[in-house]
């Protein structure tokens, strides 16, 4: 027999960034962060997990290609869910698995991203969140979403925020073991549904410095990070929570843009400096800044993760349509292939 479960999880985009760990093994951050989860039909991961007495080892395939499960992060997630497994009884199939059986049974995992992995868009967030959620369903681990988020955190920090839709806060927590470092939902997906997220793919190349290595170097060398984590982010988190609660786009945009810029300033303050944005990213920032100033009140917010691609949040659908027009006019894709994969060119503006 084979028993399987399929789950789908969208990725999330941080508007107050997580950058820096106080514990690398447990993946505990130096500050709280806030994100917005995308709609599942756009950037998401679909994962099927299956179990059978015929499987002789745990195995995983990503986009159809087998990948190694030896990494500590996969193992932590698997171990944590296995230790919470309970009895499963599938009457239709006549399958009974006891808590004890789960220790001996192996799983097969098949995971697909519905967006090009090469585009350098956060895939680990959706990936680990989906893996943990699907395993928990398969093994009947009756944990709530926040408890599962703490397990997904062990796979990739930002993954803990993808267990919920809408606006999500990852509370850094105080406990050394990380039991209180988990995600909570601030507002559900219906709360502020006028917002439209446009992702401008500036480069389809893989990033040079991974988030994990980048943030390790930052923690070791940047004084600015300490100031950010202790003095800046705690106040910004409170303001961002207020802005979200009140649908206050002006404050939301100002906080998101400033936080993205400070995250990249912290990267520059790292030794050796990390450059995630490129000229096109900088030109997109100028375009948005000029537009917002000319309009008298923010129309669009921008935020950049560990790469040059711009995540643009428009206040409503009309603004989003105008934004896409402006982007395609200012950055016409260089080739048909680029146009098909929505990669922008870099004509000056
Ligand atoms: C810039 O979650 O990818 O996207 O915990 O080492 O796996 P690890 O890092 P990861 O870092 C994400 C960093 C970021 C900001 C954010 O999502 O908050």
ipTM for the whole predicted complex goes beyond 0.90: yes
Report the atom number in ligand 1 closest to the C-alpha of 159: 2
For the chain, give the percent of residues with pLDDT over 90.
83
| Distance separating alpha carbons of residues 243 and 252, to the nearest angstrom | 5
pLDDT attached to residue 346: 44
Burial (CB count <10 Å: 0-12, 13-18, 19+), residue 174: exposed
User: Half-sphere exposure (CA, 13 Å, Cβ side) for 139?
Assistant: 30
Best mutation site among 157, 237, 274 for ligand 1 pocket (most ligand atoms within 8 Å of CB): 157
> Does pLDDT of 347 surpass 50?
no
CB of 156 within 6 A of ligand 1: the answer is yes
For residues 247-267, one letter each, b for 16 or more C-beta atoms within 10 angstroms of the residue's C-beta and e for the rest, the string is eebeebbbbbbebbebbbebb
CB neighbourhood size of 188 (10 A): 13
Nearest CA to ligand 1 atom 7: 156
Rounded mean pLDDT, 311-319: 96
The band of 333, judged by pLDDT with boundaries at 50, 70 and 90, is: confident
| Lowest-confidence pick of 23-37, 154-168, 320-334 | 320-334
Whole-structure pTM value: 0.94
152 and 81 Cβ atoms separated by less than 8 Å: no
Residue 212, ligand 1, Cβ within 6 A: yes
CB-count burial class (<10 Å; 0-12, 13-18, 19+) for 177: exposed
The verdict on the CB of residue 33 being under 6 Å from ligand 1 is yes
User: Token digits for 224?
Assistant: 């600015």
Tell me how far the alpha carbon of residue 8 lies from the centroid of ligand 1, in angstroms: 20
Residue of 16, 126, 158 best suited for mutating to test ligand 1, as the one with most atoms within 8 Å of CB: 158
């Amino acid at each position: 027999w084979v028993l399987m479960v399929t789950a789908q999880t969208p990725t999330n985009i941080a508007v107050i960034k997580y950058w820096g760990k106080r514990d690398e093994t447990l993946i505990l951050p130096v500050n709280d962060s806030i994100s917005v989860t995308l709609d599942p039909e756009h950037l998401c991961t679909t994962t099927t997990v299956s179990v059978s007495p015929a499987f002789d080892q745990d195995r995983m395939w990503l986009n159809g290609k087998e990948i190694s499960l030896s990494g500590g992060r996969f193992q932590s997630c698997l171990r944590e869910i296995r230790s919470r497994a309970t009895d499963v009884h599938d009457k239709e199939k006549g399958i009974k698995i006891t808590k004890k059986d789960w220790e001996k049974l192996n799983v097969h995992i098949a995971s697909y991203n519905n967006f090009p992995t090469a585009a350098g868009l956060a895939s680990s967030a959706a990936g680990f969140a989906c893996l943990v959620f699907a395993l928990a369903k398969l093994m009947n681990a009756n944990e709530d979403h926040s408890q599962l988020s703490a397990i997904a955190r062990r796979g990739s920090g930002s993954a803990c925020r993808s267990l919920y839709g809408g606006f999500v806060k990852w509370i850094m927590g105080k406990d050394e073991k990380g039991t209180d470092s988990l995600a909570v939902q601030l507002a559900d997906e219906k709360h502020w549904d006028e917002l439209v997220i446009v992702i401008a793919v500036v480069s389809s190349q893989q990033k040079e410095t991974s988030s994990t290595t980048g943030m390790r170097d930052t923690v070791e060398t940047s004084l600015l990070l300490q100031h950010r984590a202790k003095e800046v982010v705690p106040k910004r988190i409170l303001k961002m929570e207020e802005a979200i609660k009140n649908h206050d786009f002006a404050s939301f945009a100002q906080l998101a843009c400033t936080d993205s810029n400070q995250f990249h300033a912290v990267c520059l303050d790292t030794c050796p400096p990390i450059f995630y944005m490129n000229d096109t990213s900088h030109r997109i920032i100028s375009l948005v800044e000029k537009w917002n100033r000319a309009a008298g009140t923010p129309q669009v917010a921008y935020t950049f993760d560990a790469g040059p691609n711009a995540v643009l949040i428009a206040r409503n659908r009309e603004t989003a349509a105008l934004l896409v027009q402006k982007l395609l006019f200012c950055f016409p894709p260089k080739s048909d292939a680029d146009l098909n994969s929505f990669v922008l060119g870099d004509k000056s503006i």
